Each structure stands twice: as C-alpha cells, then as structure tokens.
Amino acid sequence: MAVVGAGIVGMSAAHFLSRAGWQVTVYDAGVVASGATGSADGAVSVASKKPGPLMTLAVAAVKFYEQLVATGILVDEYLPRSTFVVASDQEELAVLERHAGELEAAGVPIRMLRGAALMDVIGAAAPAAIAAAEVQREGHAVGYRVVERLRQLGGFTIRRNCRVSGFKSSNGRITGVMTEQGIESTDAVLLATGIGSMHFLAEAGLIRPRKGQLIVTDRAGADSPHFPGPLMSCRYLVSKGSQPAGSTAASRSLGLVIDPLRTGQFLIGGSREDRDDRETADADVVATLLRDAVALSPSLAQLRVIRVFSGLRAATRDGMPIVGNVGGADNVWIATGFEGDGICLGPMIGRLCQQMICGESPEQDISALDAARFGLTLAAAA
C-alpha cells in the first residue's frame, strides 16, 4: 500500500492501515508535516465550521480525538478546551446568534454569555465584547506533534524526500509508484498530497492554494488577563464562509482568532488569500490583524511579535474536501482539499480511508465529500 503525502491525513491513514494488516509505505517529496500540517494553528474545533456536512463531521472528529487519547494513541497531544466566539457590535451579534443556533442544532454544547457572566469569563480579555458563545468540548492539537506521535508508533515505512512523479498501471489497476529511484510495486494508492494532488489528476483548476498568515507573540506576563480559551471574532466566520457576508472580497479575507498557547504565547490569525507564495508575509495583513487583535483584547498591546509565518491550504472549487475513489484505476483513493480543517478532521479521515480501502463501510457519512461529484480521473499513467 502506497500513501502519497506525509501530512496529518496521510500519516493517520498509514497508522490505521498498518494496524489493519497492510504493509504501508508513505512517500513525501519533503519531510513529514512539511506542508499545511506543519503551518496550521492546531484548532480541533467545530466553532467555525459551516453548517451541514462539515459541521457534522467536525463534531464526530472531536469525539474521535477523545477516543485516540483514551486509547493512548494521542495521550498528551490533545488539549480539551472551549472556544469563545465574540460579538463586538449589533451586526456581529446577529451573526453570533444565528451561528450559535446552528451549532446547537448539530448537537454542540453552547453557553451564551452576556452581562455579568460575560464579564466574569472573558471580560478582562475582551472588554468591548457585548456577547460571546462558549463552544464547549473542543480542543487543540499541534499538527506536527500528532504526526510525530504516529511516526513513533510505527508499523509503516516513511520515504522522505522521495517525490512520486506518477504511477505504473496494468489492466485498470495501479501496479507501481514511479520515483527518481525507479518504480516500486504497490497494490493500492492513497493520495493525501494537498495542493500537490492536482499533479496526479486529469482535471485542472479543481484545487487551488489558499495562503494563510499567522502571528506569534512572546510570553504574557503574570499580570496579563487570563484567556480561558481562544477568542474568535464573528468576522472570522464570515471570512471562512461559515456565515454569509455582504461584501467579502473573493481573493482575500481576514478574520480574527486570538489563541492562547500552552507556552504562554499567543497565536493571532488569520488570512485567507488566493495566492501561493508561502515564503513571504505581508506587512499590511499583519498590521491589520494586530490592530484588530488589540481592538478586541487591548492587553495584547503589552506583548511583542516574535514571529510571523505563512502556509498554504488546499482549497477545492466547492469548498468541500475530496475523499473517495479516483476514476481510471480501481485501487486508487484520494483525501485532499481540507483547506483549514485538516487538523480537526485529519485523524478521523485517515481512519475512514482505511475502512474504505479495506472494503468496509465508513463509520461516518462522507457522501458529501465523494470524489465522484467531480468525476475525478487519474492523469495518464505509464
């Protein structure tokens, strides 16, 4: 079994496939977690998900993380916590109330905070807030640490710096993986290569890079206000498309999340930009995010920015991930296009891929993600 891509989805699939009895080799053009997984904010969150299949799957994915902790697989790598979605004016309050109702309808425990309760919980952190929804039973997991834990558990082979250029086929099946070192035989393939998935597909323009920029502060002092969990501006829901917007530019949107890290630092983000230059950060984007962060939480003005970085997400044409069989060979599957939801959904999707590849019915309904909706086919194989 060949898994192409050593991010959180590919490594999770390799973990579960190896435990199901497959001999698995993971191929990556770089090193493990060197793509979107290594640049992610680590949110295992339902709070920002769009109502519908993604929100339903995120609820199941959070529970799956809890199972992985209980069974010892991700012990100490998943931190349970709440997310606080914050409204600072009446327009944002309308967004907040609508989204909170949709979360509750999906079975997510919500506590609305107003007045004295709001001040008691997040007042010092966000004094200008007029209301907040505490989205309970969420969590945080650092993507590269999850991948490293799976690597340590072992059971499969990892081929780093080994780019897959194509596949060898025979009688409608993939029989080999083509690399610079030659052709290596395989009996099945899972493509979990994010943006790189387009290299293997005949369809053009289906997956595009979406840049995100993040800011890291230094450690807060003992006199800094306590953050009970990440603060998410209602504008983040609009920037992500989880709630409708009146006039959000298609090519760039900014939302705000202020995330207290275990180190005492804060992660501030983020942007969604239809660009592919992950090596650069933009002063105007960073300045806007910092202004918004200080407006929501003035105490952050005491801290210094020590790092700004960016990463690329794989965004699909319809905003939904792609998971399922690929046409052109009956032993090829794909799991890609998770955009900003890969850390949340990744381990569970890896498990569902294992079930599909083993001929089992996935334990979650992923029909909305089916690759067949695009009629995907492999690029011409040798």
Q: pLDDT tens-digit profile of 278-326?
A: 778 889 999 999 999 999 999 999 999 999 999 999 999 999 999 999 9
Please return the burial class of 170, using the count of CB atoms within 10 Å of its CB with bins 0-12, 13-18 and 19+: exposed
Which of the four pLDDT bands, split at 50, 70 and 90, describes residue 248?
very low
pLDDT in tens, 8-17: 999 999 999 9
Average pLDDT value for the chain: 93
pLDDT of residue 249: 43
Residue 73 within any structural domain of the chain: no
Same domain, 85 and 223: yes
pLDDT at 177 over 70: yes
Of 11 and 329, the one with more pLDDT: 11
Residue 32 CB neighbours (<10 A): 22
Same domain, 165 and 85: no
Least confident of 150-154, 270-274, 341-345, 358-362: 270-274
Residue 31 within any structural domain of the chain: yes
Which of the four pLDDT bands, split at 50, 70 and 90, describes residue 247?
very low
CATH of the domain at 305: 3.30.9.10
Distances (CA, A) of 375 to 8, 325, 353, 357: 25, 10, 19, 19
pLDDT in tens, 58-83: 999 999 999 999 999 999 999 999 99
Same domain, 290 and 261: yes
pLDDT in tens, 335-377: 999 998 999 999 999 999 999 999 999 999 999 999 999 999 9
Range of the domain at 21: 2-39+144-206+318-374
Q: Which of 145-149, 253-257, 377-381 has the highest mean pLDDT?
A: 145-149
Same domain, 259 and 362: no
Q: In what order do the strands lie in the sheet with 182-185?
A: 164-170, 173-179, 182-185
Same domain, 297 and 214: yes
Domain count for the chain, please give it.
2
pLDDT at 256 over 60: yes
H-helix or E-strand containing 334?
strand 332-336
pLDDT at 89 over 60: yes
Query: Measured between alpha carbons, how far is 196 from 198 in angstroms, rounded to an integer?
Result: 5
Average pLDDT on 164-181 reads 94
Of 315, 345, 363, at which residue does a domain stop?
A: 315
Same domain, 193 and 233: no
Contacts of 146 (CB under 8 A, 6+ apart): 8, 11, 12, 74, 77, 343, 346, 347
Q: Is 327 helix (H, G, I), strand (E, B) or coil?
A: strand
Same domain, 179 and 261: no
Same domain, 30 and 153: yes
Of 292, 315, 338, at which residue does a domain stop?
A: 315
Which one, of 190, 191, 150, lies nearest residue 1 by Cα?
Answer: 190
Please report the DSSP string for 134-171 in residue order: EEEEEEE--HHHHHHHHHHH--SEEETT--EEEEEEET
pLDDT in tens, 192-237: 999 999 999 998 889 999 999 999 999 988 877 789 999 999 987 8
Same domain, 221 and 366: no
Of 315, 331, 358, at which residue does a domain stop?
A: 315
Average pLDDT on 84-91 reads 94
Please state, for a pLDDT cut of 90, what percent of the chain lies above it: 84
Average pLDDT on 116-145 reads 96
Contact 112, 133 (CB under 8 A): yes
Same domain, 222 and 87: yes
pLDDT of residue 244: 64
Same domain, 28 and 129: no
pLDDT of residue 381: 60
